[in-house]
Structure formats: C-alpha cells, structure tokens
C-alpha cells in the first residue's frame, strides 16, 4: 500500500507498507523533508512496523514520537503527518490530481442563495452528479453569516446590522460569524468527495484543503500561514477563516472567507465580539484581528480572485465550469424552504 500527504506549508511525506495478519509490515518512510540524525529514519520505520492496522493517526504519531532519539530534528514534517500518511495508505485515499476539477465564478446572487448553492453543490458532488468544484462567490448585498451552532442574539447586534445595511443569515457549517460586506471580501467554497480527506483528522483536513490558497497568497507577496484550527493569517494578523460541513452522502463542503477591505469600527458595531474571544486571540481590538488583502497587496479584488483561480487551476488541472439551471432551481427552492425561514435563522436563538 502507498500513501502520500503534503504537509501544508511543509514537505511531502510518502509511505509504503504491507499488511500481514492485521498488522503493518515492511513499512518505509520517504519524502523531501529534512531529518537529523540520519539514522532516525530507521527508528521511525521500526516504530510503525508491527502496529495494528486499526491504529489511528494519533496512535501512529505517538509511536513515532516515542521512538525518536533525544534531540532529533524534524523539518518540514511531524510525527502527526506520518500518522496521516499511513492512514491514507491504509484507506487508499486518492490525491488532488486523481479527480477532474472545475472552477466556477458566476453572477452575483443573494447571501441566502450562496448558502443554498453550497448545500446543493456539496450534495451533488457526494452523489457523483458533479465533478469536485471550486466556486468563487459573488453576492449582491452585504450580510453577517453566522455559524450553524451560534446563538443569534449572542453574535449579532440587530440594530447595528440594520444601521449598516447587513442582512443576517445562517450557514450549514460550524465556526464563527463572518461580516461579509459586498465587494469587501473574497469567499470560496470547495465541494469535494470525502475520499480526498480520508485518513485525516478534521484539523489536518482544514489545512490540507486550504494549502492551495496559501500558495496563491504567497505568490502575491503575503507570507501566509495556517493557524489551527481554521484561521488563515499573515504577519500582521488574521486574513480569514474556514469552516466545513460533511454530508452523510460523502460530500464535503469546505469554505473560507478572506477580508479584502474592511472597516474595523463597523465590525465592532455589527458583531458582538466578546472580550473572551479577543483575549484568546492575543489582541485587545476586534479591528486589529483582521488584516485585509487590499492593504497588503495594493491589488483589486478582481486581480486577487484571478490569481486564486490561476493557482488552483495550475496546481490541479482544473477547467472552467458552470452552475446548471437545474442546480440554480434546486438552490432557489432550498432558499424558500430553509435559508429564508425564521425557523432556520433562529434554530439557536
């Protein structure tokens, strides 16, 4: 069996192994990482050999960590990444280039319609009725988008939202509230089959699915990094955040919002951002938590989106795609039955 895992911001970890009598055998680790001392490679191989095939990624990582000699240095990979690569080998997980990818960037629609399209397109990828897809959002009005499990009254100041022209909607994924000013952010969604992230922890899958956007940001001169669990950040602060939803049919929705331009004062008047959250992020000002792309690049929003599309297409061989009339109609029906209803918005009052 063969497994590969590209460490976000790091190196490629490659494993080859066999399974005998329910245990890992003939295990070999390889990759373009750095490791000192040199003979620690044999220690890692020995630690994984003989483990039961049911051992999870954390258990494999613990075995590797326990076998490393004192003072060993792992550069570009970690014991956890070895565990992920092993699990991917055992479930024969495919890589990015094993799929035919499409990129969709279409007309502006309402915030509710964007949320409904996320659910419809994820379901269709899970059912095998659509190729895995990257979609760049466009929308025709501003909105606060709260996470699936957030309390409406705790997250949003309704008077502030109304005063500044922000609708309030709820998405199907978890995570925090996003203040999405029209033409002031860059939002994208990935609709992928669960097999792409098979063998990964949720935390690993977040960074794995956003590695391409880190490469795009770095090509624009931004020293972007991923901060667990779901933040994309630069040297001066947070740029954006990601969220996920996994459907029962095997479709995975991964979407992220990056700030292009923002008014920090407006954000504090629209969102109820508590002191506890700010202190956890190591800052005393909500406005200072977000570092917009416009100030860092000097580029138009359209130019940044174009770079995102070019980077993703060059990495994974994606081709331009579109949303069908049937998919739009299905999303419109879902807006009426779910996303535009008070019952959905107030599911957590």
- Res. 276 pLDDT band, cuts 50 70 90: very low
Domain boundary among 90, 111, 139: 90
Percentage of residues of the chain with pLDDT beyond 90: 87
Q: Return the ∠ at Cα 55 (arms to 54 and 61), rounded to 5°.
A: 160
Percentage of residues of the chain with pLDDT beyond 70: 95
pLDDT of res. 23:
98
Domain boundary among 60, 75, 90: 90
Does position 284 have pLDDT exceeding 50, yes or no? no
pLDDT of res. 308:
98
> Looking at residue 139, what DSSP letter applies?
B
H helical segments located in the chain: 40-48, 57-67, 79-90, 111-127, 152-155, 158-163, 202-209, 211-219, 264-270, 275-280, 293-297, 301-316, 325-334, 342-345
Question: Are 178 and 322 found together in one domain?
Answer: yes
Domain boundary among 64, 90, 116: 90
Question: Are 84 and 157 found together in one domain?
Answer: no
For residue 75, the enclosing domain spans 2-90
Identify the CATH number of the domain in which residue 255 sits: 3.30.930.10
pLDDT of res. 280:
55
Q: How do residues 204-224 score in pLDDT, each as one tens digit?
A: 899 999 999 999 999 999 999
Question: Are 31 and 160 found together in one domain?
Answer: no
Asked if 145 and 115 count as a contact pair (C-beta separation under 8 A), the reply is: yes
pLDDT of res. 333:
98
Q: How do residues 11-44 score in pLDDT, each as one tens digit?
A: 999 999 999 999 999 999 999 999 999 999 999 9
Return d(Cα 174, Cα 243) in angstroms, integer: 6
Question: Are 120 and 63 found together in one domain?
Answer: no
Lowest-pLDDT choice from 27-41, 134-148, 173-187, 262-276: 262-276
pLDDT of res. 6:
93
pLDDT of res. 291:
75
pLDDT of res. 28:
98
Mean pLDDT across 126-137? 98
Question: Are 136 and 57 found together in one domain?
Answer: no
Question: Are 197 and 255 found together in one domain?
Answer: yes
Q: How do residues 236-249 score in pLDDT, each as one tens digit?
A: 888 999 999 999 99
Side-chain-side CA neighbours of 323 within 13 Å: the count stands at 25
- 207 to each of 113, 213, 339, how far by Cα in Å? 27, 10, 28
Return d(Cα 164, Cα 162) in angstroms, integer: 5
Whole-model pTM?
A: 0.89
Question: Are 53 and 108 found together in one domain?
Answer: no
Does position 273 have pLDDT exceeding 90, yes or no? no
Asked if 212 and 315 count as a contact pair (C-beta separation under 8 A), the reply is: yes
Question: Are 79 and 131 found together in one domain?
Answer: no
Question: Are 207 and 264 found together in one domain?
Answer: yes
Phi, psi (rounded to 5 degrees) for 132: -50, 140
Question: Are 233 and 323 found together in one domain?
Answer: yes
- Res. 268 pLDDT band, cuts 50 70 90: confident
Domain total of the chain = 2
Question: Are 173 and 199 found together in one domain?
Answer: yes
Mean pLDDT across 257-283? 74
Question: Are 74 and 187 found together in one domain?
Answer: no
- Res. 60 pLDDT band, cuts 50 70 90: very high
H helical segments located in 210-300: 211-219, 264-270, 275-280, 293-297
Q: How do residues 160-206 score in pLDDT, each as one tens digit?
A: 999 999 999 999 999 999 999 988 999 999 999 999 999 998 888 99
Identify the CATH number of the domain in which residue 40 sits: 3.30.390.50
pLDDT of res. 287:
54
Does position 47 have pLDDT exceeding 80, yes or no? yes
Mean pLDDT across 332-349? 97
Mean pLDDT across 143-154? 96
């Amino acid at each position: 069996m063969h497994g590969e895992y590209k460490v976000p911001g790091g190196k490629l970890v490659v494993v080859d192994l066999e399974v005998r009598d329910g245990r890992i055998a003939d295990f070999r680790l390889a990759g373009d990482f750095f490791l000192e001392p040199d003979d620690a490679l044999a220690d890692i191989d020995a630690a994984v050999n003989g483990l039961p095939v049911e051992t999870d990624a954390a258990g494999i990582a613990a075995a590797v960590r326990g076998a490393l000699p004192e003072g060993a240095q792992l550069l570009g990979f970690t014991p956890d990444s070895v565990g992920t690569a092993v699990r991917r080998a055992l479930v024969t997980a495919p890589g990015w280039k094993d799929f035919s990818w499409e990129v969709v960037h279409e007309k502006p629609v309402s915030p509710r319609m964007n949320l409904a399209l996320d659910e419809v397109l994820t379901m269709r990828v899970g059912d095998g009725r659509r190729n895995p897809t990257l979609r760049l959002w466009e929308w025709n009005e501003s909105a606060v988008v709260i996470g699936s499990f957030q309390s409406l009254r705790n997250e949003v100041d309704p008077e502030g939202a109304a005063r500044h022209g922000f609708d309030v909607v709820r998405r199907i994924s978890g995570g925090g509230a996003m203040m999405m000013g029209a033409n002031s952010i860059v939002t994208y969604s990935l609709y992928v089959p669960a097999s792409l992230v098979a063998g990964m922890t949720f935390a690993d899958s977040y960074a794995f699915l956003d590695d391409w956007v880190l490469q795009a940001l770095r090509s624009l001169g931004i020293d972007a990094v991923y901060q667990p669990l779901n933040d994309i950040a630069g040297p001066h602060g947070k740029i954006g955040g990601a969220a996920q939803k996994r459907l029962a049919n095997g479709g995975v929705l991964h979407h992220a919002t990056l700030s292009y331009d923002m008014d920090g004062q407006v954000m504090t008047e629209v969102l109820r951002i508590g002191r506890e959250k700010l202190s956890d992020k190591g800052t005393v000002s909500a406005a200072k938590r977000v570092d917009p792309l416009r100030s860092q690049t000097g580029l138009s929003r359209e130019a940044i989106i174009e770079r995102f599309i070019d980077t993703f297409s060059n990495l994974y061989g994606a081709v331009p795609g579109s949303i069908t009339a049937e998919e739009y109609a299905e999303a419109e029906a879902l807006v009426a039955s779910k996303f535009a209803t008070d019952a959905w918005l107030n599911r957590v009052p």
